[in-house]
Amino acid sequence: MYDLKNRKTFVRRVKVNGITLDNFYIGCTLYILGRLVKIVDFACENTRKLLHKDVQVTFVMIKPLPTSIVGKIVNHFFENDLRVTKIKKARLTAEDINTLYRSFIADPKFPFLLEHLNGQLVFGMELVGKDAVSNCLKIIGDPDPVKAEPGTIRALYGTDLVRNCVHTSSNPEAALQVILEIIGKQEGDRYNWNNVGDIGLIKGIPRYYVPKPGAKRYKKYDDQVIKQALDEIALTNNSLSAVAEKYNIAKSVLCRHKNREMKLHGRPTALTKDEAVIGVTH
């Protein structure tokens, strides 16, 4: 694993409990040796083929809907092994809509889409998973909710060809293009893409997936419970994430107290979020 910020190798070969090969995908943030490391790329094609086989990235936009319905839609993706690596809530402009629906501009439905989406709040997501593009299209269903198979997202929550809940990319190239254009356009503004932790603000998303920081931001914790959790981390091989889940403590809170303990013992205290690329050695 290569640290892009410090331009040096961070990890060569080491056992880290609680992390498996399934966790190594672009967009994932891992807690490794006291640091939060976000994987942004693979070091070589060999690594990509070994760890990212058949894995694709796709773009999904949830159209204007009640927040509780948004949570149920996101849950459909979780249950079908599609990981949300980036998510944001933003108001679309006419320019954004033209970018997203550039292939539909000549379609008779486009003026109605423009009217439905312009100035409205939507959720944009980057999804990662095995055959993500085709899998996502299958989960969403036919563009016409009347023709969509029972159990698909559009059959459950859509009403017509315009208000059909979700827009998604039809192929990997289109997905990457839209993601780059939308992220690039919004870079630096208050609607910038957020890490998956912020989905804790969406109702209906299963608790086992929602990272604790977003869900427990203002909760006060008993000092004795925190001490027990820190002791368990120190005396066992359990990961910080597993202990935080066991004691129902926000991971960020546990990290903060752990850093405080490390400072008292003269050990490094910085817990930063770094970007890294990973490579498989032979």
User: Averaged over 235-255, what is the pLDDT?
Assistant: 74
pLDDT mean over 45-52: 75
pTM reported for the whole predicted model = 0.59
Widest distance between CA atoms in the chain: 68
> What does DSSP say about strands 121-130 and 55-62: parallel, antiparallel, or unpaired?
antiparallel
Give me the residue spans of the domains in the chain. 2-51+274-278, 55-206, 213-269
Which stretches of the chain are DSSP H helices? Answer: 45-51, 67-79, 94-100, 110-117, 132-140, 153-157, 172-186, 212-215, 223-235, 240-246, 251-264
Lowest-confidence segment of 75-84, 104-113, 213-222 by average pLDDT: 213-222
3-class DSSP assignment, residue 251:
helix
The answer to whether 168 and 142 are in contact (CB under 8 A) is no
Proportion of the chain above pLDDT 70, given as a percent: 70
Q: Quick check: 34 and 268 in contact, CB under 8 A? A: yes
pLDDT score of 262 = 55
pLDDT, mean of residues 136-140? 93
CATH class of the domain at 55-206: alpha beta
pLDDT given for residue 193 in this prediction: 45
Closest CA to 241 of 222, 224, 226, 254: 254
Element (H, E) at 41: strand 35-42
Can you spell out the DSSP letters for 142-191?
Answer: -SSTTTSPTTSHHHHH--SSSS-SEEE-SSHHHHHHHHHHHHHHHTTSTT
Burial of 239 (0-12, 13-18, 19+ CB in 10 A): middle
- Between helix 67-79 and helix 132-140 the angle, nearest 10°, is 130
Catalytic center residues: 167
CA nearest neighbour of 133 among 74, 57, 77 = 57
**pLDDT for residue 204 is more than 50:** no
Report the pLDDT value the prediction gives residue 208, as an integer from 0 to 100: 34
- Contact between 51 and 279 under an 8 Å Cβ cutoff? The reply is no
Reference 153, options 133, 170, 138; nearest CA is 138
* pLDDT per position as a tens digit, 149-165: 999 999 999 999 999 99
Q: Of the candidates 104, 63, 70, 89, which has an alpha carbon nearest to the alpha carbon of residue 182?
A: 89
Determine the Cα–Cα distance for residues 91 and 121; give it in Å rounded to an integer. Answer: 4
Name the more confident of 111 and 31: 111
